[in-house]
């Protein structure tokens, strides 16, 4: 069955490019969610006027990848901490967040975060927010499939 998940973890261009390579992901869409403004635009999101995060809506086949495995991929694609060694921008639109649609997703997310925090994998505590999914506003067309359109080569260190 095809399901949807919504994540925010920094610049949506790099996050989308990475999710496109995950087996079981069938479609991606970048956009904005988690804020207070209807129909936000990129300029206002970047100016921190909307409260929205740059996010990615992932459609996936749950017969090929579980929600937990999708979350593990999400955490591997960005640093979900505020460690001093993490040099990425911490503007609110780049926050780390999981937008859940059910109690089951919420429980899986909390358990995975607890496990990762106890694993020692990260230097600092994970600060990823777990929020109820709300309206997802697709970003402007020029943001969709940005890396493909601009022939950006995806590397391990690829951000925005």
What total number of domains does the chain contain? 1
Residue 124 lies in a domain: yes
Is-catalytic flag, 11? Answer: yes
Residue 84 lies in a domain: yes
Residue 155 lies in a domain: no
Please report, for the domain that includes residue 117, its CATH number.
Answer: 3.30.1060.10
Residue 156 lies in a domain: no
The predicted-structure confidence for 16-43, as pLDDT tens digits, reads as follows 999 999 999 999 999 999 999 999 999 9
Give the domain extent around 33: 2-149
Residue 128 lies in a domain: yes
Q: Which of 127, 131, 158, 112 is nearest to 20 (CA)?
A: 158
The predicted-structure confidence for 48-95, as pLDDT tens digits, reads as follows 999 999 999 999 999 999 999 999 999 999 989 876 554 455 678 999
The strands making up 137-138's β-sheet, listed across from edge to edge, are: 129-132, 96-100, 2-9, 53-61, 25-33, 137-138
Q: Which of 11, 124, 158, 160 is catalytic?
A: 11
Residue 132 lies in a domain: yes
């Amino acid at each position: 069955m095809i399901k949807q998940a919504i994540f925010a973890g920094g610049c949506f261009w790099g996050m989308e490019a990475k999710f496109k390579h995950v087996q079981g992901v069938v479609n991606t869409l970048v956009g904005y969610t988690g804020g207070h403004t209807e129909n936000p635009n990129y300029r206002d999101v970047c100016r921190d006027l909307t409260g929205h995060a740059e996010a990615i809506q992932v459609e996936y086949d749950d017969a090929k990848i579980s929600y937990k495995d999708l979350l593990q991929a999400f955490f591997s694609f960005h640093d979900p901490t505020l460690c001093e060694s993490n040099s990425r921008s911490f503007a609110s639109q780049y926050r780390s967040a999981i937008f859940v649609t059910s109690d089951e997703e919420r429980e899986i997310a909390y358990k995975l975060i607890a496990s990762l925090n106890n694993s020692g994998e990260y230097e600092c505590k994970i600060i990823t927010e777990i929020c109820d999914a709300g309206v997802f506003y697709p970003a402007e067309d020029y943001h969709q499939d940005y890396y493909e359109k601009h022939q950006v080569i995806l590397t391990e260190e690829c951000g925005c």
